[in-house]
Structure 1
Amino acid sequence: MTRYLLPVALTVLLFGATRAPADWPVFRGDALMTGTSTVKLPDKLEERWTFKTGTVKPDGTVKPDGGVEGAPAIVDGVVYIASLDKFLYALDLATGKQKWKVKLGAMKASPSVKGDRVYVGDLDGKFHCRKTADGSAVWEFETSGEIMAGCNFHGTNVLVGSHDSTLYCLDAAGKKLWEMKIDGPVNGTPAVIGDVTFVAGCDSILHILDAKTGKELGNVELGGQAAATAAILGDYAYVGTMANTVVAVDLKKKVKAWQFEAAVRQQPFFASAAAADLVVAGSRDKRVYGIDPRTGKSAWSFVTEGQVDASPVIVNGRVYVGCLNDDGNFYVLDLKTGKKLQELQLDSAVSGSVAVGPDCIVVGTDKGTVYCLGKK
């Protein structure tokens, strides 16, 4: 079902317009949630440093209760990590040394950074705005449900979804400007292009909204609940569903353009897709798929050692993604062919997505270890 025409030309691509190439300030790297970067990474990744989140015991050892399920944020040489151990951390990207940490609440969401503020929601439904310099409080906004995903920005305003079935728009002081209710929890980070934003969740609908007012401009049936964030590329949105599909939405016509489904043993797509020359999506069928963005046909599939809930990223023709295998398998794939170029062993399963730095990537594990992978 559709209603209104979009007030902006969605053919205008805004890649890089809101961030420096070496920064990764939001969950999927940019406002359009593409999960892509153009930085130059080493041909072979090596462990540059690790950092342990979790509870420090009296003997000085760390109890691994601080799983990291969100993507880190990287801005101006600082890595921001939200952990299930209830702490938000700021680390030096070059060394992995802790700059500060602050106790908020158990967090699965990815932190987001804009200017001198870092934003993150917790599982108690509280949305925090903190100073990047020292983690001190600026303001706090309370929702009525878990916050599972990172926020995005429209100008100076902040967009964040909650499991209370609401997308909120807050101003720079934390005051609510508008809210949009849907029929079910909001799981993903809203993409933003121009003055348009998008929200999808457990109502199986992609809602197209005026970011200034929250007014619905149109909506498209997805055919399944969405746990993932939609990626915007040109005139299309790409989003995985719990109905075992990846869906492409034509944003001009406001219709479903195509639907991808695995040939056998279909499983849900909880991971958010990355969108570039191919749409790359991870599934709970233990595969990563490269999908033609024009036709929805599979270009390749790669078999992993575990279910893929971690959202893949694309950097200069390579795909980086982990899986839910206890051995911590992490893969580097060729974007064109899906061929494995490198495999690393981290300390445990990888639920979260990668953040891309100027010459490295940063990713957390279910045991709360944060890895910086680049060249030693």
Structure 2
Amino acid sequence: MGLLNIICGRWIRQNGAIIEAHLGILANPATCGLMPAAGFSVTKFHGINSMRNTPSKRSSRRGALRQIGAGLAAISVSTHFGRSALASTVPAGIEAPGATSWASFRATPDQRGISKSRLADQPSLKWELASPDGWVATVAIVGDFIYAPALAGNLHCLNLKTGEEIWKYRSIEDPDPKKFAPGFKAAPLVTATMIYIGDEDGVLHAIDRTSGKKVWVFASDAEIAGCVAQYEDKLLLASHDSNLYCLNLDGTEVWKFQTNDRINCSPAIEGTFTFLAGCDEHLRVIDLQTGKEFRDMPLESFLIASPAVVGDLLYVGTHTGEIVCVDWRKGEFVWRYAGSRKMPFHASPAVTDELVIVGGHDKTLHAVDRATGAEKWTFATRSRIECSAAVVGQRLFVGSGDGNLYGIDLQTGTETWKYNAGRPINAGIAIGEGHLVVGEDQQNGRLLCFA
């Protein structure tokens, strides 16, 4: 996803339009604070800066949604549980996520960004869909459907092969298309019967996959930038309000864990543990059975990216320009890699058995040895990389702010394919069911589907 947009506010959405504010500077890196552009004010919610022209409406909306969500959750205990959690049935025409699906931000709970699908040697554009505010979130691909979150506040369910719209869900109830709707910057989590997705107003939406109708909502106190994760019959939600929430499948809260600043990442899962890193410069390992902290390790930098986990090792890029490998059980660095220019890494890593691959603000894709942290190869683009790359077979695909999509050979780091979209591509890549899908991060940006 376009995480720089989330944190640095390069684009500000006001009254349904996009205004280029050229913020790009963090006033206080230790807390991910923002320096407002001229004519804009910064409103704080629990120590979190958020740029809006109507903060009071946001607060009142959250309060109302808490009450509505409680009511919907009570109703959904019988309907949602009766349909999926207990009966485990799948509605006609809807497939449960399979091995070749891309059902969440990085496809799997360990967040390694590896697809088990196949993809053509030279993918060609099959269809495109424009959205007024563009796309910064990674889509989900399950069966014959794409679930695409847009900054305009719509979640689109589309036919994978044709791009035909099946249904559209809006983040607010008001049908007036001119009414501002909180956008979706987070990727959706898709299960057999449900879709879970957070919006930039801090609301988690639980949506029926068949009808596209709301089942319940849960309101946190600030923006949700990361994808929801599922552990057994529980949901994990990280928010800019500094909390990790554990919810039942009906939207009721089980426990929450508070950090010291906003959380940008999608929680990774390994065994019975989940992993958080954000603006308080700490890696936190949480026991999912108890909601208690297992490990708290200083990382010496705040993080925008989401971590990937392989066994006892965690990999992530930092804002201070390092890719780090951490033994999370011991709370120790295994290795630290710094690019020659030490520019921020805001993209989440793709992690294979041999390599850790991350794009940076130095306009370069870095591939390092997973065991040692030694550089294996680099690939230069013409602009910063915020796109989280995806691996399929022996190839990696990544977008850049230079408007290009690149296909790269994993072993050599050489270009094997390129598509010039002409607009920045900051959303993460999704590869599933034989298709690659990604959106353009610009006004009237297109969602692009290749096969």
Give the TM-score, by structure 1 length.
Answer: 0.89
Question: Take 1:155 and 1:369, find their aligned partners in 2: how far apart are those partners?
Answer: 35
**1:74 and 2:133 aligned:** no
Which residue, out of 253, 262, 267, partners 2:343?
267
Structure 1 residue 37, shift from structure 2 partner: 1.4
Structure 1 residue 297, shift from structure 2 partner: 1.1
**1:43 and 2:121 aligned:** yes
**1:336 and 2:411 aligned:** yes
**Alpha-carbon distance change, 80 to 302 in structure 1, aligned in 2, over 3 angstroms:** same
**1:361 and 2:439 aligned:** no
Structure 1, unmatched stretches of 5+, are 1-17, 54-64
Which position in structure 2 is the counterpart of 1:9? none
Which position in structure 1 is the counterpart of 2:280? 203
**Contact 2:295/2:328 (<8 A) preserved:** no
Which position in structure 2 is the counterpart of 1:240? 317
Structure 1 residue 202, shift from structure 2 partner: 0.7
Structure 2, unmatched stretches of 5+, are 1-95, 172-181
**Contact 1:237/1:251 (<8 A) preserved:** yes
Aligned residue for 1:371, secondary structure, equals strand
Aligned residue for 2:309, secondary structure, equals strand
**1:33 and 2:111 aligned:** yes
Question: Take 1:251 and 1:218, find their aligned partners in 2: how far apart are those partners?
Answer: 7
Question: Take 1:178 and 1:256, find their aligned partners in 2: how far apart are those partners?
Answer: 30
Question: Take 1:134 and 1:323, find their aligned partners in 2: how far apart are those partners?
Answer: 35
Structure 1 residue 213, shift from structure 2 partner: 2.0
Aligned residue for 1:67, secondary structure, equals coil
AA partner of residue 272 (structure 1): S
Which position in structure 1 is the counterpart of 2:374? 297
Structure 1 residue 19, shift from structure 2 partner: 5.0
Question: Take 1:32 and 1:241, find their aligned partners in 2: how far apart are those partners?
Answer: 18
Report the structure, 1 or 2, having the larger helix content. 2
Aligned residue for 2:190, secondary structure, equals strand
AA partner of residue 273 (structure 1): P
Identity rate of aligned residues, in percent? 34
Give the TM-score, by structure 2 length.
Answer: 0.74
Question: Take 1:39 and 1:111, find their aligned partners in 2: how far apart are those partners?
Answer: 19
Structure 1 residue 347, shift from structure 2 partner: 4.1
What root-mean-square deviation, in Å, do the aligned CA atoms of Structure 1 and Structure 2 show?
A: 1.2
Which position in structure 2 is the counterpart of 1:7? none
Which residue, out of 26, 41, 52, partners 2:130?
52
Which position in structure 2 is the counterpart of 1:61? none
**1:90 and 2:90 aligned:** no
Question: Take 2:133 and 2:147, find their aligned partners in 1: how far apart are those partners?
Answer: 14
Bigger Rg over Cα: 2
AA partner of residue 346 (structure 2): F
**1:180 and 2:257 aligned:** yes
Structure 1 residue 251, shift from structure 2 partner: 2.6
Aligned length: 343
Structure 1 residue 103, shift from structure 2 partner: 1.1
AA partner of residue 244 (structure 1): G
Question: Take 2:315 and 2:206, find their aligned partners in 1: how far apart are those partners?
Answer: 29
Structure 1 residue 219, shift from structure 2 partner: 2.2
Structure 1 residue 252, shift from structure 2 partner: 3.3
**Contact 2:226/2:266 (<8 A) preserved:** yes
**1:364-375 correspondence to structure 2 within 5 Å:** 364-367=439-442, 368-374=445-451
Structure 1 residue 38, shift from structure 2 partner: 2.5
**1:141 and 2:218 aligned:** yes
Which position in structure 2 is the counterpart of 1:5? none
AA partner of residue 103 (structure 2): P
Aligned residue for 1:146, secondary structure, equals coil
Which position in structure 1 is the counterpart of 2:41? none
Question: Take 2:165 and 2:130, find their aligned partners in 1: how far apart are those partners?
Answer: 10
**Contact 1:220/1:249 (<8 A) preserved:** no
Aligned residue for 1:252, secondary structure, equals coil
CA offsets per residue over residues 48-86 of structure 1, 9 Å max, x none? 111222xxxxxxxxxxx2311111011122100111111
Aligned residue for 1:79, secondary structure, equals strand
